[in-house]
Amino acid sequence: MAIPKNIFLVIIGFLATFSIVLAKPGIASFYNSSYVPSKCYGTKPQGDLVAKVGSKSLWDGGAICGKKFNVTCTGETNKYLLHPCTGKSVVVKIVDYCPECTADATFYLPEKAFETISMVMAFEVKIDYVQ
């Protein structure tokens, strides 16, 4: 028995809203040096779509290692560069913690991942992220 179209659309709408509610706001910046070695995996490379965490509470003693996050640019942090977002999202795997990084970012993405969600000249952008 097929689900009526109107009920199906209501279910899809509910699920889409639910995922938006789970997204958390943050800041992303990019990092153009190597992610190896990392605090999570030592000298074992984890690919190109990885990230460092800049927040001590999010790092949680390394409990976040290996978790993947969908990151979406939501806007600018610099009033001189409007609309830096590409409209795309990227999924990154957490491999490191960067308390010494200079920007006050939630995530530090490799340049390739950052370019997926934003213009690089933005340096940092507002994001929503969800695991």
Phi, psi for residue 117 in degrees, rounded to 5: -100, -20
Please say if the pLDDT value at position 2 is more than 70: no
Distance of alpha carbon 117 from alpha carbon 120, whole angstroms? 9
Full set of structural domains in the chain with CATH: 24-130 (2.40.40.10)
Task: Give pLDDT tens digits for 26-83.
Answer: 999 998 878 899 999 999 999 989 999 998 999 999 999 999 999 999 999 988 888 9
Cα distances (angstroms) measured from residue 19 to each of 52, 90, 106: 23, 16, 20
